[in-house]
Structure 1
C-alpha cells in the first residue's frame, strides 16, 4: 500500500497539465470560441453592415396565403361508420368486456343496474345481470379523428 501511494505521489509531482490552444487540437476539427475575440480588432477596422431594406408589401402573418406557406396540407383519415352486431333485446356473449371508463367517451356514469359493454369498437348499454342489450351507444358519441 505504501509503495502504491509513493508511486502515485511521484507521478503526480512530475505530471503537469497539458495546455493546448484548443481541446480538439490534433483531431482535424476546428476550434470554436464563444465570447470576446482573442484577437482584439479596433472598432474602426470592422466592416459596417447596412441594414437590409424591408421587402415591399409583405403579406400579413395570418393571411390564408401565409398560413398555406407555413403548413403542409394533411388529409384526415376517414373512419368508416360502425355497424352494430347486436339488436336491442339480444343477449351479449360471455366474452364481451365491460367498459370501465365511460367518462373517457363522454358517456354518463352507469346506474340502475345497467353498464356499458364493448364488442370491438362497438359500445352497447346492457343490463349487468343478464346482458340484455338496451341500446347501441356509438351514434351518440362524438367521434374524434385519431392517427
Structure 2
C-alpha cells in the first residue's frame, strides 16, 4: 500500500492478440475483407487474403487458412 501523498503508477494491461501468427483459423468464423483498397490496404496477392479478426486485420493464406501476419498497421484511416 502506498503512503499518503505518494504516487503509484500502474502499467496498462495488454490483452493478447486474438490469433497467433502460424495459427490455422476455422473457415467461416471470421469475416474476409472484400475491399482492401477502401481500407488503405494493398491488394491481396500470391494466395493470401485479409481477414478481420476482432478489431484487427490479418493476412491469411486462403487455402490453408494459416495466419501469416497482422496487417492492422497498414490499414488506412477508414479501418473502423
- Tell me the equivalent position of 1:127: 61
After superposition, the C-alpha distances for 1:30-52 in whole angstroms (9 at most, x for unaligned) are xxxxxxxxxxxxxxxxxxxxxxx
Question: Is residue 92–residue 133 contact of structure 1 (8 Å, CA) maintained in 2?
Answer: yes
Distance in 1, matches of 2:16 and 2:35, equals 22
Runs of 5+ unmatched residues, structure 1: 1-81
Q: How does 1:29-48 map to 2 (within 5 A)?
A: none
Question: Is residue 40–residue 77 contact of structure 2 (8 Å, CA) maintained in 1?
Answer: no
- Whether 2:32 is the aligned partner of 1:98: answer yes
The structure where strand makes up a greater share of residues is: 2
Which structure would you say has the larger RCO, counting Cα contacts within 8 Å and 6 or more residues apart? 2
State the shift of 1:136 in Å.
0.3
Runs of 5+ unmatched residues, structure 2: 1-14
TM-score by length of 1: 0.39
- Tell me the equivalent position of 2:46: 112
- Tell me the equivalent position of 2:17: 84
Could you say what secondary structure the match of 1:115 adopts?
strand
For this pair of structures, how many residues does the alignment match? 65
Which structure's CA Rg is the greater one? 1
- CA RMSD of superposed structures (Å): 2.4
- Whether 2:70 is the aligned partner of 1:136: answer yes
Distance in 2, matches of 1:83 and 1:139, equals 17
Question: Is residue 44–residue 50 contact of structure 2 (8 Å, CA) maintained in 1?
Answer: yes
Distance in 1, matches of 2:53 and 2:42, equals 19
